[in-house]
Every structure is written in structure tokens, then in C-alpha cells.
Amino acid sequence: MRRTHLLLLVGVAALSVAIFGFNLKLYKLNRQIKSQRDSLIRQELSTSAPAPGWVMPVIHGKKMDGKDPELDFQGSAEKMTIMLFDSVNCPACDQNWTFWDRLLSDEDITSRLVAVSNGPVSWAYIHQHPLISTNHMVVTELDPSIAKQMRMQAAPQTIYLEHGTVKKVWFGLLSDAEVKEIRNQMKMDD
């Protein structure tokens, strides 16, 4: 009986070591896959957004009022522009709007804000974010050829421009540190 218990105990211990080894291998494989995934995401984003140093072209699009706005970032009187690039069916964009709405209502902001969507936008969507339709330029449907030229394929993006030149691009859901950095950029005096 005692020998059976000892064999059973040794068997359980061996099985535990085997399971631990298997879990360790899975953990290492998971880290390797995540690292490769993150590298691929960074690589994809670098080709899906304007890069620092790029000069923004004149943007043509459609507004909710039916007008076709033209945004000339280089010829603008405003030195600094923050472009909010979103997509209507993008969960991370919806989460960024919480921050973007606060930016739009901040009276200390000295730079121009422009909201750009990569597809048609409904009035209901605009009414969820009323400040963008009343106080700031909104392009509700970016011309696809301009979107391709600008490499604006991944949403959301928050893009900081000086005299039409891209200085910084923040991809995806904004972290607290990125939010603070953007607010500091936007409050700089000319």
C-alpha cells in the first residue's frame, strides 16, 4: 500500500514537472508570437500613415453641409494643426473621442483642430461630437486618392502638423502620456 502511494506521488510529481515544462514552452512561444505580431503591426503602421517630415497636400473632401472643403495646411495662417483621423466603425476611435472632445472644448488650445473621417459620416455620428461640427473644420469623407497619397489607411491617428509638415503621429488608442504630450503641443504659443 505504501509503495503504491509512493509510486502515485512520484507519478503526480513527474506529471506536474511535465505540465510546468509544457506551460513554460507555451509562454515562450506566446512571447515570441507577440513580438513578431508587434513588429508586423509597427511595420504596417509605418506604411499606413504620414511620416514625420512629410508635407501634407491640400485636402479635398465633403462636409455635412454639402460643401467641398479645401484644407491648405501650408498656406494656413495657423502655425499648428492637430488632425484627428477616424473611422465611423472603429472602437479605438470611439474611445479616443472622449479625449478629442475635451480637446475641442479647451479654450487654452492655440492650434487649429481638423477632424477627418475615411468614409461617409451620418448626422447622428456628428451629433455625438457636437463640438467638431460647430467650432472646427470637419471633413466627413476624405477623397480616396488624397487618403492614399497621405497614407491615411489606419485609424485612429492623431497627427501634429506645423505649417503643413508632419511633426508627430500617434497611432491607435491614446495612452495617458500621449494625451499629455498632445495637450502640451497644442497649448504652445506661436
Averaged pLDDT for residues 58-85: 72
Mean pLDDT, residues 63-71 taken together: 68
pLDDT at residue 132 greater than cutoff 60: no
Widest CA span in the chain: 91
Asked which of 48-62, 90-104, 118-132, 163-177 is least confident by mean pLDDT, the reply is 118-132
Q: Look at residue 163 in the predicted model and tell me its pLDDT.
A: 86
54, pLDDT greater than 70: yes
Q: Which residue has the higher pLDDT, 132 or 137?
A: 137
Hey, what's the torsion of the CAs at 36, 37, 42, 46, to 10 degrees? 100
pLDDT value at residue 56: 82
Q: What's the pTM value of the predicted model, to 2 decimals?
A: 0.65
Q: What is the model's pLDDT at position 25?
A: 92
Q: What stretches of 47-161 show up as alpha helix (H) in DSSP? A: 91-105, 123-128, 130-135, 144-150
For the segment 5-28, the average pLDDT, to the nearest whole number, is: 88
Q: How far apart are the first and last CA of the chain?
A: 87
Q: Are the beta carbons of 72 and 146 closer than 8 angstroms?
A: no
Higher-scoring residue by pLDDT: 14, 121:
14
What integer best gives the mean pLDDT of the chain? 76
Residue 9 has pLDDT above 60, yes or no: yes
**Architecture of the domain delimited by 59-186:** 3-Layer(aba) Sandwich (3.40)
pLDDT above 90 as % of the chain: 1
Quick one: pLDDT band at residue 190, thresholds 50, 70, 90? very low
Better-predicted residue by pLDDT, 101 or 164: 164
Summarize the confidence of residues 42-55 as an average pLDDT: 70
* pLDDT number for residue 189: 45
